[in-house]
Amino acid sequence: MTEKTEKKAKQQTLQAVRGMNDILPDEAEAWEHFEDIVRDWLRSYGYRPIRMPIVEPTPLFKRAIGEVTDIVEKEMYSFEDALNGEHLTLRPEGTASCVRAIIQHNLLHVAPLRLYYHGPMFRHERPQKGRYRQFHQIGIEALGFDGPDIDAEHILMCARLWEDLGLDDVRLELNSLGSAEERAAHRAALITYLEGHRDRLDEDGKRRLYTNPLRILDTKNPELQDIVEAAPKLMDYLGEESLKHFDGVQTLLKDAGVHYRINHRLVRGLDYYNRTVFEWVTTRLGAQGTVCAGGRYDGLVEQLGGRPAPAAGFAMGVERLLALWRESGAQVDAAVPDVYVVHQGEQAQRLAFRAAEALREHGFAVLTHCGGGSFKSQMKKADASKAQLAVVIGEDEAASGEVGLKPLRGPGGQQRVPLEGVADAVAACLFIDEEEEDGGI
C-alpha cells in the first residue's frame, strides 16, 4: 500500500456493517415504548424473562435447526475461536439457545415453564426492507405442556398483542406437521411425486429433493406453484392423535373468535417443528410479510440431550412489527423533561445540581444545562426541550439558597422558592398545568 493510498484509507469514514443498523434516539424511543407494551403483555400471560448469550457452539444450531436448512447451509455467522479452536456461531434464532439453557441448568425439574427473551439475532441474508443481517426477535417458549391448549394460548396471545398495538391487517395461517412417523410417510410419497417432475424443479428444489423435500412446498418460485399445489398433502397422512390435537387447537381458536386459514404448504424453515405450526402474515410489508411465526417442537429437548419434554413457542421480528405499527399510524412522542435547570455562576451551578437531584428524588425528569452560556441562550435551550418549567438560578438565588421557577408553557410569572421547597412548588405548578390542559376540574 502506497503512502497516498494508506492516507486515503485512514481518511475514509467508518460505517456500520451492511445489514447491521444503528437505532438512533428518535427511533430508539419508539423501540422502548414498543418493548414496554410487549413486557406488560407477556406479564399478563404469566411469562418470565430469560437471557442467553449471543454466541453459542456451532453444533447446537446444526443439531437443532438441521444441517440441510438454509440457515445452517448459507446464513450463519460462524467462526473458529482463535484461542482454543472452538467452533462458534452468532445465534441465528433463540429457541435452540433457550432449550440449551433449560437443559444445562436443569430448569424443567421445577415445573412447566413459560419463558420469553428478546435481543439481536444474526443471519447472512441479502438486506432488504424488514430483513437485516442483525435483526431483533422477541421469543416465547412454553415447555412441559403437551396439549393443544398451549398451542392455542400462543396464538391467542398474538391476537391480543395485535389488538394492543392497533394492528388490523394481520392474518393467521395454520397447519399441522403431525408426528415424525407421519412426516416420514408423507416424505416418501412426496419424493416419489416430485421425482416425476424433476426436470421442472429449480436448483433449490433439486438440491432439497432427497434431503428436505418438505421445504420445496414452501417455494416462492412462480414456475413451481402448480407442482406444489398438486403435491401430496401432509394432512392426508396424519393419524388419529395428530388430528385430535389439531382439532383441539382449532376448537379453542373458534371459541375465541380468532379467524384463520389452513395452509397445507406451511412447513416452517426449521427441522425441529412437529404438529401445530402457524404464521401471522401481512400484505403491508412487501415480500417480507411474516411478522410472527411458531409452533410445537416436542422432540427438541431430547434431541439436545435433555429428558423428553413437550414444547411450543413462537418468535416475532421487532423490525417488521415496528414497521407495521408505524404503517398503522402509531405515534410515539419524544421524551420530554418536566423541568430544565438554567444557571450562571459557580455558586449557582453548585446549587443547580443540588436542586436537580432533589427534584429527581421526587420522581421528576430533569434536564440540567451543561456547557455554560448566557441566560438568554440557556432559556432558548430550555424552551426547545419542551419542558413545562425552568428552574432559574443566578447569583442572587444562590446567595439566598433559593431558586426561580418560570413556566415555559402557559401563563404565570416567575416565582422564587427556597431550595427545600422546590419539589412541592414544581409539583404544584405541574398540577396546575395539567388542570388547564384538561379544562379544569
Q: Are residues 273 and 167 both part of a single domain?
A: yes
Where in 24-164 does DSSP place strands (E)?
Answer: 48-49, 55-57, 77-80, 87-90, 113-122, 134-143
Contacts of 366 (CB under 8 A, 6+ apart): 337, 338, 339, 340, 341, 356, 359, 360
State the pLDDT confidence band at 69, using cuts at 50, 70 and 90. Answer: low
Considering the domain boundaries, does residue 221 fall inside one? no
In this predicted model, what pLDDT tens digit does every residue of 394-405 receive, in sequence order?
998 889 888 999
CATH number of the domain residue 173 falls in? 3.30.930.10
Considering the domain boundaries, does residue 154 fall inside one? yes
- What CA–CA distance (Å, rounded) separates 327 from 162? 13
Q: Are residues 249 and 392 both part of a single domain?
A: no
Buried b / exposed e over 127-149, threshold 16 CB at 10 Å, is: eeebbbbbbbbbbbbbbbbeebe
Considering the domain boundaries, does residue 211 fall inside one? no
In this predicted model, what pLDDT tens digit does every residue of 235-289 receive, in sequence order?
888 899 999 999 999 999 999 999 999 988 787 656 678 899 999 988 777 666 8
H or E segment to which residue 171 belongs? strand 171-176
- What CA–CA distance (Å, rounded) separates 23 from 174? 34
Q: Are residues 302 and 354 both part of a single domain?
A: no
Buried b / exposed e over 410-428, threshold 16 CB at 10 Å, is: eeeeeeebebeebbebbee
Q: Are residues 317 and 429 both part of a single domain?
A: no
Considering the domain boundaries, does residue 333 fall inside one? no
State the pLDDT confidence band at 70, using cuts at 50, 70 and 90. Answer: low
Q: Are residues 345 and 305 both part of a single domain?
A: no
Considering the domain boundaries, does residue 334 fall inside one? no
Of the candidates 335, 436, 430, 440, the residue with the CA atom closest to the CA atom of residue 390: 430
Query: Which structural domain, as residue segments, surrounds residue 244?
Result: 17-178+238-327
Phi then psi for 408, rounded to 5 degrees? -100, -15
Q: How many alpha carbons fall within 13 Å on the CB side of residue 118?
A: 16
Q: Are residues 31 and 95 both part of a single domain?
A: yes
Tell me: pLDDT of 215 over 50.
yes
Provide the pLDDT for residue 262: 92
Considering the domain boundaries, does residue 184 fall inside one? no
Provide the pLDDT for residue 440: 44
**By percentage, how much of the chain surpasses pLDDT 70?**
91
Q: Which residue has the higher pLDDT, 242 or 228?
A: 242
Tell me: pLDDT of 144 over 70.
yes
Q: Are residues 164 and 254 both part of a single domain?
A: yes
What is the pLDDT averaged over residues 43-71?
Answer: 85
State the pLDDT confidence band at 441, using cuts at 50, 70 and 90. Answer: very low
Tell me: pLDDT of 125 over 50.
yes
**By percentage, how much of the chain surpasses pLDDT 90?**
40
Q: Are residues 135 and 273 both part of a single domain?
A: yes
Q: Are residues 242 and 357 both part of a single domain?
A: no
Considering the domain boundaries, does residue 187 fall inside one? no
Q: At what angle do helices 346-361 and 422-437 cross, to 10 degrees?
A: 60
Contact of 116 with 141, CB cutoff 8 Å: yes
In this predicted model, what pLDDT tens digit does every residue of 178-209 receive, in sequence order?
888 888 888 888 888 888 888 888 888 888 88
Provide the pLDDT for residue 123: 86
Cα distances (angstroms) measured from residue 381 to each of 142, 249, 372: 50, 57, 12
Total number of domains constituting the chain: 2
Of the candidates 256, 315, 265, the residue with the CA atom closest to the CA atom of residue 290: 315
Of the candidates 66, 135, 51, the residue with the CA atom closest to the CA atom of residue 97: 51
Tell me: pLDDT of 379 over 50.
yes
Provide the pLDDT for residue 148: 95
Q: Are residues 317 and 378 both part of a single domain?
A: no
String of DSSP letters for 383-429: HHTT-SEEEEE-HHHHHHTEEEEEESSSS---EEEEGGGHHHHHHHH
Provide the pLDDT for residue 133: 87
Q: Are residues 398 and 297 both part of a single domain?
A: no
Q: Are residues 38 and 66 both part of a single domain?
A: yes
Which of 327, 361, 376 is the last residue before a domain boundary?
A: 327
Contacts of 381 (CB under 8 A, 6+ apart): 340, 342, 369, 373
Q: Residues, the chain, total?
A: 441
Provide the pLDDT for residue 288: 60
Is residue 441 classed as helix, strand or coil in its secondary structure?
A: coil
Cell of residue 255, nine digits? 371459541
CATH number of the domain residue 389 falls in? 3.40.50.800
Which of 296, 327, 358 is the last residue before a domain boundary?
A: 327
Contact of 367 with 383, CB cutoff 8 Å: no
- What CA–CA distance (Å, rounded) separates 395 from 60? 65
Provide the pLDDT for residue 323: 85
- What CA–CA distance (Å, rounded) separates 417 from 397? 9
Check the CA dihedral 288-292-296-297 and report its sign: positive
